[in-house]
Amino acid sequence: MQPYAEMSNEELLALKKQLSVRYKDFQNKDLKLDMSRGKPSVEQLDLSMGMMDVLSSEDDLTCEDGTDCRNYGVLTGIKEAKELIGDMMEVAPDNIIIYGNSSLNVMFDTVSRSMTNGVMGCTPWCKLDKVKFLCPVPGYDRHFAITEYFGIEMINVPMNDEGPDMDLVEKLVAEDEAIKGIWCVPKYSNPTGNSYSDVTVRRFARLKPAAPDFRIYWDNAYGVHHLYDHDQDHLIEILAECKRAGNPDLVYKFSSTSKISFPGSGIAAIAASRNNLEDIEQQLKFQTIGHDKVNQLRHVRYFGGIHGMIEHMRLHADIMRPKFEAVINTLEKELAGLDIGKWTKPNGGYFISFDALDGCAREIVAKCKKAGLIMTKAGATYPYGKDPHNSNIRIAPSYPPLEDLIMAMELFSLCVKIVSIDRILAERKMAAAENE
């Protein structure tokens, strides 16, 4: 297909007329398609229904060490749950605290605790004149919402195929002691689906921050969320790498079973050094007597160990893989060669990142909405909702049925084409006016 930039104004206008007819047809379908969030589909939720039958009133709810899961106690989680989640997170059980149902909640608590009480004896952030966080972009909107809520200044760090721009990360953290953290989704990143390279992970572990209370917020949300058995991304384990580098306290690692079992009813965890965990436990003992041990036991008995979890995730992949392939195939069929967009091709995770021509994202999302397709809000993948290029759009394939997803991506591609034509024509008109 001919790139739009090589077409004449007359050719583009004629093409837009044809595309507008197709767009009107979509509008007449009265569609109600939602791809705004990375929610598991009904079919994925059905995979975990057996978990509801694992425990009954007839069962012994006692752990191997004699803990009665019906009662108070066990602040940091039952031993069996630590072993299961430890295998999932690739860390030793002793380096884990099991929380409630949401890793986002754990991350919020971690920032909140740092604000009010500081990190391992350092000055509480609320008493400092300025607190800053580095934010790899495009990134996860809910991460940015946490730091914005606490009034923390966010600094964009561009992402590339290997992860964040580490030259910039190293420079900024070494020069500015007000920088207290960096958000990371290192495996199958939200929204690009890319994973950090070995070099990037090793550079993270060897950071030399000016602030002694600087921490890497390592959200390994998609650690076991592969699409393929063979083409899988692998990540160096960050806690072990930090320890090898002489920086054992540098990282907080987060994870949960939210997109493994039931979102909202899973179990979440933080993994960190012993020093960090002891610091966290000082706050945690005032916050709770212990999280839901019955739910922890339910997960342990349902999965039976990490091998059961991996097999379970293969079933998830069988549902997700055709959806990802449908998105990629539709984008390549409709947009390849036009030079009006580029997209990622992940091996796992929940998202595909699309970059339109500069200045087009908001209008594409708005045009989709007018025809019945709800996308993630343009700008959401940047702090404060401000994409400086107005180009990035997060595609979330998981929730819609496959046939709806294919229709949605045809509509999305159509909107990209129409908005891109308008943009090119507007730029040409502006350039012509400047040359008069």
Residues 224 and 339 in one domain: no
Record the tokens describing residue 18, joined without a space: 């044809």
- For residues 434 and 436, what is the distance between their CA atoms, to the nearest angstrom? 6
Residues 321 and 298 in one domain: no
What is the CA angle 81-86-88, rounded to 5?
100
- Tell me, yes or no, whether 436 lies in a domain: no
Q: What is the CATH number of the domain that holds 330?
A: 3.90.1150.10
End-of-domain residue from the set 285, 304, 323: 304
Our count of domains for the chain comes to 2
User: Per-residue b/e over 350-375, b at no fewer than 16 CB within 10 Å?
Assistant: bbbbbbbbeebbbbbbebbeebbbbb
pLDDT value at residue 113: 97
pLDDT value at residue 38: 93
- For residues 352 and 15, what is the distance between their CA atoms, to the nearest angstrom? 27
- For residues 354 and 361, what is the distance between their CA atoms, to the nearest angstrom? 9
For 103, other C-beta atoms within 10 Å of its C-beta total 22
Tens-digit pLDDT string for the chain (436 aa): 899 999 999 999 999 999 999 999 999 999 999 999 999 999 999 999 999 999 999 999 999 999 999 999 999 999 999 999 999 999 999 999 999 999 999 999 999 999 999 999 999 999 999 999 999 999 999 999 999 999 999 999 999 999 999 999 999 999 999 999 999 999 999 999 999 999 999 999 999 999 999 999 999 999 999 999 999 999 999 999 999 999 999 999 999 999 999 998 999 999 999 999 999 999 999 999 999 999 999 999 999 999 999 999 999 999 999 999 999 999 999 999 999 999 999 999 999 999 999 999 999 999 999 999 999 999 999 999 999 999 999 999 999 999 999 999 999 999 999 999 999 999 999 998 888 7
- Tell me, yes or no, whether 49 lies in a domain: no
Q: Which of 266, 160, 177, 171 is nearest to 214 (CA)?
A: 177
Residues 300 and 415 in one domain: no
Residues 293 and 314 in one domain: no
Residues 210 and 161 in one domain: yes
Residues 315 and 226 in one domain: no
- Give me the sign of the Cα torsion angle 253, 93, 229, 309: negative
pTM of the model: 0.96
- For residues 315 and 43, what is the distance between their CA atoms, to the nearest angstrom? 10
pLDDT value at residue 436: 75
